[in-house]
Amino acid sequence: MTKAEIVEQIAGKTGIERADVLEIVERFFKVVKESVTAGETIYIRGFGSFEPKKRAAKTARNISTNTLVNVPAHVAPKFKPAPEFVKRVKENVRVE
């Protein structure tokens, strides 16, 4: 599903204009990005949390050239789904 499809579904179910829904969705993403970039964690009950995750320095292998590469310590964004969300997906999505 794309952002446009999300906007379309929300607009269709709420009756709010698509342009207004798009603005709200865009602002939500902006708040999430700015907050995680500032080192904050965002908790959305029943959905999950967005947080900055510290990654330790490590040595990796470039499989194309079969050489070792040093990867410095860094911070990456992380999403952790809420237990209710995980449970719902496990119960409703079929493995083929």
Q: What is the pLDDT of residues 17-67, one digit of tens each?
A: 999 999 999 999 999 999 999 999 999 999 999 999 999 999 999 999 999
Per this entry, what is the length of the chain? 96
What's the pTM value of the predicted model, to 2 decimals? 0.79
Q: Does an H or E element contain 19, and which? A: helix 18-37
Cβ within 8 Å of residue 26, ≥6 positions away: none
Instruction: Give the domain 42-96 fold.
Output: HU Protein; Chain A (4.10.520)
Q: How many beta carbons lie within 10 A of that of residue 7, not counting itself?
A: 20
- Residue 44 DSSP code: E
DSSP state of 40: -
Q: Is the pLDDT of residue 96 over 90?
A: no
User: Which among 62, 79, 82 has a CA at the least distance from the CA of 70?
Assistant: 62
pLDDT at 95: 86
Mean predicted confidence (pLDDT) in 63-88: 96
Q: What are 1-10's pLDDT values in tens digits?
A: 999 999 999 9
